[in-house]
Structure 1
Amino acid sequence: MKKDVDDELYWIEALREGDDQALAYFFKLHSKALAYFAGRMLHDKIEADDIVSKCFLKLWQKHESFKTPQNIKAFLYISCRNSCLDYLASLKVRTNAQDSYLQHLNSADETILYDIIQTEVLDMVNKEIEELPEKMKVIFKLLYFDGKTTAEIAQELNLSVQTVRNQKTKAIEMIKNSLVKKGVSVTLQLAFLFFIEHW
């Protein structure tokens, strides 16, 4: 099969054959989103990163078992979720956030589904942001990653507040249009809009 660095089907076959470059490919593809996912559950970045690393070790140990990219993604999220729950349950002393999260998870799987969707949306948004024009990208990151207000950004970049607002609106429209062109499901498009409004 011809090698294509963007062809997940190629990398699935390579993984099944024990090619460690395929493991590196899937690590690059999913590790950032999984770390965010685990971090939301644990409120402990170091432990979250450790759990994500162990999930990829489990993936490698079962490398012959996977037939589709969706199998791999599902395996990673389920492994990550279970490891996070085991870790939270094992803690003798938990923070209020960890304790609340664990109690809520015991009664509702919807929280996990919401976090997976939010993780997927964040991962998509990150990729789309990098494609924005430079000034727009800077403004968008200051707004949504650094949590700055339009007034603060206007002052920092020596722009008018209206310019910042216009750039934000154009960025959201460009990202939304890009998601549509890439065939992203309506559900995730709506999740993106919800995410932007409540970020």
Structure 2
Amino acid sequence: MTLQNVIEERALLKEFQSGDRIAFERIFRLYNTSLIFFATRLMASFEQVDPQEIVMDVFLKLHDKRTDFTTLSSIKAFLYISVKNSCLNAIEKEKVRLRRFDTYILDFDEAEQNVLSKIIQAEVLQELYAAIELLPEPYRIVMQKIIDGKSAKEISQELDIPVSTVNTQKSRAISLLKNNLSGAGIALLLLYF
């Protein structure tokens, strides 16, 4: 480094430390392009983060700390280290955001499947209840009580009929329902009974 360069560097540094806008612009022009390139390379897989914003934020920090620097080399080191750290922080934040997004999508898919399952179940139950309403009265009464969760013994006591009659009516009702229900309705019927 020539004596002329040393004198120019010290003058630029002194003007920069005093808050001179032109000195700051010179330092900005000196490092901005290479810092953006550096940040872009670090952020290559994370398009959501703007490397130019990171570099701008670092230059703002540099301006705030301008009195702390004694050489242009220390400014350059500060700029590169700060850009690297800011990029790493942005990458980590982006990874957290992506994990949250993935979790949200997974939860959303599960919730959507659950809602779809509930809709199908409600439709099939409606079909089953409608088919039960069409059964002859003794069969219908037995089936409704079974749906309410009562055992054959409880139904026989309530209706004052033998347990074997309850089982026979249930069996005949199921046989009639199988003829009137869709595949899903039959599957639900077999699940219940």
TM-score normalised over the length of structure 2: 0.44
More helix per residue: 1 or 2?
A: 2
Larger radius of gyration: 2
